[in-house]
């Protein structure tokens, strides 16, 4: 009898070690994929954060497959994903940015901690959603008469005694039947209240195990940075630590779910198992339920910082922003295809008008500036030699689309977005606008008048930014707004049927166009 148990125990031990090794290999494979720019499609895309009304999320690929979010996010819980997404969507105040940078720098070298968190809780997929527990933990308590809990204990005990008397002592079976009927009536009477207590948590045991593991690891840490220290302090409590509290709840749910075992189910039925566990879970909720929200906030913020720290660790040459324009690199483009360009925008020079031929790098420049601003104001390192910027709200028109369902043309969608940016320029923080081929859906005459009015309005409201154009007439905007605006351009060379680009930003207006050459290259006679 002992030998089979030892074999079973050893087999389970080896199986757990194997599953942990597989998770560790997967963790490092994902890290290698990010280093080798093979990461697209391997992480959480964050598609639930896509918002057509956000001023830049779609334009800068902040969310979705191949997005900045997918590149950054290593969170295990949905609260961590929510926190990281919120940081990418909105710029943080300077003090918050500096606090995050300090925390990320501390976590950058803590590979042991980040690996340990990644390997917690076998079988729990990324994005474990525990948000329903917040509402459950703060909900009104289960109201039942004081005698209901003792009755839930004594009725099964009396039923067992009556069953023993019937089967063993050859007494009448009537007491057993009567007590069983009383149990049924009692259970039906409490059914709605019991369901209210156990339904939100009965299938959350594994997720709670993950949460308990994360909390337990954080409780053992002695962080140096102010933000991490604040998160650690939020877990201090007079009684049991949060990890033990959550582990208790997970254990109660495991006991509750034992009623689903086909061998135990008959026993659970007349033991009022669900009712008794509901009372125990309700007692746990009364003691610790309201703290779930705070614990999840701590975990969410820590996971967001850990995601930025993983990015910082994998890109050790990338500096933190000092909140001075530098030589920017697009974080979503492989390094061997990046070209550095200097850029400076401030009160003296608020606008670059970027001209150039097709495929020369104009739109990439806009995305470079936008992504670096988002990274910097979230507290992450950025792909630059040096970057200094003030708090900015980023707005862009890089990926405007029409909508057949909404009956909205591309031009109407663009001017709606532009109106949104004009409104943002009137508020705080200042606006960084990135306008790609402004108003290209209308005729040249209206386009010139409209574009000049829009850009002049943005600049007059203190916004800074860049606009790109193929229409050389629009480059006159820089002359009209000088010295607050400047023309720059990208060039291409076409020789022996081959077109090359240096992706360098040059002063002035572009002198040549490659549209006809490209048309001939694909076989169109012009």
CA dihedral of residues 289, 291, 296, 301 (deg, nearest 10) = 170
Asked whether residue 284 falls in the same domain as residue 344, the answer is no
Output b/e per residue, 476-491; b: 16+ Cβ within 10 A.
ebbeebeebbbbbbbb
Instruction: Pick the last residue of a domain from 314, 345, 375.
Output: 314
Query: Does residue 328 lie within any of the structural domains?
Result: no
359 or 214, which is more confident: 214
Asked whether residue 206 falls in the same domain as residue 86, the answer is yes
Q: What is the arithmetic mean of pLDDT over 492-506?
A: 73
Residue 75 burial (C-beta neighbours within 10 Å; 0-12, 13-18, 19+): buried
Asked whether residue 26 falls in the same domain as residue 82, the answer is no
Q: What is the arithmetic mean of pLDDT over 225-230?
A: 96
Quote the tokens at residue 267: 């026993």
Q: How far is CA 504 from CA 150, 466, 490, 513, in A?
A: 80, 16, 6, 16
Distance, in Å, from the CA atom of 89 to the CA atom of 246, rounded to the nearest integer, reads 31
- pLDDT band, residue 497 (cuts 50/70/90): low
Asked whether residue 297 falls in the same domain as residue 437, the answer is no
CB contact at 8 A, 366 and 434: yes
Report the pLDDT value the prediction gives residue 153, as an integer from 0 to 100.
Answer: 76
Distance, in Å, from the CA atom of 48 to the CA atom of 45, rounded to the nearest integer, reads 8
- Omega before 483 within 30 of 0, i.e. cis: yes
DSSP 321: P
Asked whether residue 364 falls in the same domain as residue 459, the answer is yes
CB contact at 8 A, 479 and 456: no
Asked whether residue 462 falls in the same domain as residue 341, the answer is yes
127 or 446, which is more confident: 446
Q: Which residue has the tokens 């135990």?
A: 264
Q: How far is CA 477 from CA 242, 434, 467, in A?
A: 60, 15, 10
DSSP 385: S
Its domain, for residue 5, covers 1-36
CB contact at 8 A, 77 and 181: no
Q: What is the arithmetic mean of pLDDT over 384-398?
A: 88
Query: Does residue 323 lie within any of the structural domains?
Result: no
Q: How far is CA 453 from CA 35, 155, 425, 446, 479, in A?
A: 44, 81, 14, 11, 14
Distance, in Å, from the CA atom of 292 to the CA atom of 520, rounded to the nearest integer, reads 65
For residue 63, pLDDT over 50 is answered with yes
Q: How far is CA 126 from CA 217, 273, 303, in A?
A: 18, 32, 12
Is the Cα dihedral 424, 427, 428, 431 positive or negative?
positive
pLDDT 10s digits, 128-179 = 888 888 888 888 777 777 777 777 777 777 777 777 777 777 777 787 777 7
Asked whether residue 88 falls in the same domain as residue 18, the answer is no
CB contact at 8 A, 459 and 423: no
Query: Does residue 244 lie within any of the structural domains?
Result: yes
Q: How far is CA 140 from CA 282, 285, 287, 289, 290, in A?
A: 10, 10, 13, 11, 11
For residue 523, pLDDT over 70 is answered with no
For residue 203, pLDDT over 90 is answered with no
pLDDT 10s digits, 20-34 = 777 778 787 888 888
Asked whether residue 151 falls in the same domain as residue 17, the answer is no
Query: Does residue 96 lie within any of the structural domains?
Result: yes
Phi/psi-derived region of residue 387, left when phi > 0, alpha when psi is between -120 and 50, beta in every other case: beta
17 or 488, which is more confident: 488
Asked whether residue 305 falls in the same domain as residue 342, the answer is no
- How many helices, marked H, and strands, marked E, lie in the chain? 19, 8
Report the pLDDT value the prediction gives residue 517, as an integer from 0 to 100.
Answer: 64
98 or 202, which is more confident: 98
Quote the tokens at residue 79: 């609260």
Query: Does residue 389 lie within any of the structural domains?
Result: yes
Distance, in Å, from the CA atom of 130 to the CA atom of 211, rounded to the nearest integer, reads 9
Asked whether residue 213 falls in the same domain as residue 285, the answer is yes
Asked whether residue 114 falls in the same domain as residue 184, the answer is yes
Q: How many residues does the chain have?
A: 526
Least confident of 283-292, 293-302, 358-367, 415-424: 358-367
pLDDT 10s digits, 72-94 = 999 999 999 999 999 999 999 98
Phi/psi-derived region of residue 64, left when phi > 0, alpha when psi is between -120 and 50, beta in every other case: left
What percent of the chain lies above the pLDDT cut of 90?
Answer: 37
For residue 324, pLDDT over 70 is answered with no
pLDDT 10s digits, 443-494 = 888 889 998 999 999 999 999 999 998 888 888 999 999 899 999 988 877 6
- Helix crossing, 111-118 with 2-35: angle to 10°? 120
Question: What's the whole-number average pLDDT of the chain?
Answer: 84
Asked whether residue 261 falls in the same domain as residue 293, the answer is yes
Tell me how crowded residue 161 is: count the other CB atoms within 10 A of its CB: 14
| Highest mean pLDDT: which range of 13-17, 144-148, 274-278, 456-460 | 456-460
Distance, in Å, from the CA atom of 2 to the CA atom of 143, rounded to the nearest integer, reads 48
Q: What is the arithmetic mean of pLDDT over 52-60?
A: 93
Structural domains counted in the chain: 3
């Amino acid at each position: 009898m002992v030998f089979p148990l030892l074999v079973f125990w050893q087999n389970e031990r080896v199986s757990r070690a194997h599953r942990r090794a597989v998770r560790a290999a997967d963790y490092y494979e994902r890290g290698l994929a990010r280093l080798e720019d093979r990461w697209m499609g391997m992480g959480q895309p964050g598609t639930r954060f896509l918002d057509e009304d956000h001023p830049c999320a779609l334009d800068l690929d902040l969310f979705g497959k191949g997005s900045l979010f997918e590149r950054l996010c290593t969170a295990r819980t949905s609260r961590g994903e929510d926190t990281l997404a919120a940081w990418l969507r909105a710029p943080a105040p300077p003090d918050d940015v500096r606090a995050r940078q300090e925390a990320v720098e501390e976590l950058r070298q803590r590979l042991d901690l980040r690996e340990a968190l990644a390997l917690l809780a076998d079988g729990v997929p990324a994005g474990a959603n525990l948000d329903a527990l917040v509402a459950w933990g703060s909900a009104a308590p289960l109201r039942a008469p004081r005698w209901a809990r003792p009755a839930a204990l004594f009725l099964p005990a009396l039923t067992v005694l009556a069953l023993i008397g019937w089967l063993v002592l050859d007494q009448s079976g009537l007491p057993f039947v009567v007590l069983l009927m009383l149990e049924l009536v009692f259970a039906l009477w409490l059914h709605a209240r019991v369901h209210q207590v156990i339904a939100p948590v009965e299938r959350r045991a594994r997720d709670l195990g993950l949460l308990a593991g994360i909390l337990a690891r954080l409780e053992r840490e002695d962080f140096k940075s102010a933000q991490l220290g604040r998160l650690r302090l939020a877990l201090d409590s007079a009684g049991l630590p949060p990890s033990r509290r959550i582990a208790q709840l997970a254990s109660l749910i495991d006991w509750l779910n034992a009623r689903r075992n086909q061998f135990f189910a008959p026993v659970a039925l007349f033991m009022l198992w669900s009712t008794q566990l509901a009372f125990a879970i309700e007692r746990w909720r009364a003691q610790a339920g309201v703290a779930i929200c705070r614990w999840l906030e701590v975990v969410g913020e820590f996971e967001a910082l850990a995601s930025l720290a993983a990015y910082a660790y994998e890109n050790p040459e990338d500096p933190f922003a000092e909140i001075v324009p530098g030589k920017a690199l697009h974080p979503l483009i492989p390094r061997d295809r990046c070209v550095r360009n200097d850029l400076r925008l401030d009160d003296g020079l608020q606008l670059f008008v970027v001209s150039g031929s097709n495929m020369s790098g104009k739109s990439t420049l806009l995305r470079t500036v936008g992504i670096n601003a988002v990274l910097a104001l979230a507290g992450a390192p950025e792909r630059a030699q040096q970057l200094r910027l003030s708090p900015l709200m980023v707005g862009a028109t890089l990926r405007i689309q029409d909508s057949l369902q909404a009956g909205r043309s591309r031009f109407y969608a663009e001017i709606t977005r532009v109106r949104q940016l004009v409104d943002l320029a009137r508020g705080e923080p200042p606006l960084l606008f990135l306008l790609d081929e402004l108003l290209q859906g209308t005729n040249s005459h209206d386009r010139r008048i409209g574009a000049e009015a829009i850009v002049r309005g943005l600049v007059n409201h203190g916004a800074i930014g860049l606009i790109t154009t193929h229409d050389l007439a629009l480059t006159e905007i820089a002359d009209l707004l000088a010295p607050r605006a400047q023309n720059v351009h990208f060039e291409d060379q076409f020789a022996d049927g081959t077109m090359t680009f240096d992706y360098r930003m040059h002063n002035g207006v572009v002198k040549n166009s490659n549209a006809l050459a490209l048309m001939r290259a694909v076989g169109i006679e012009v």
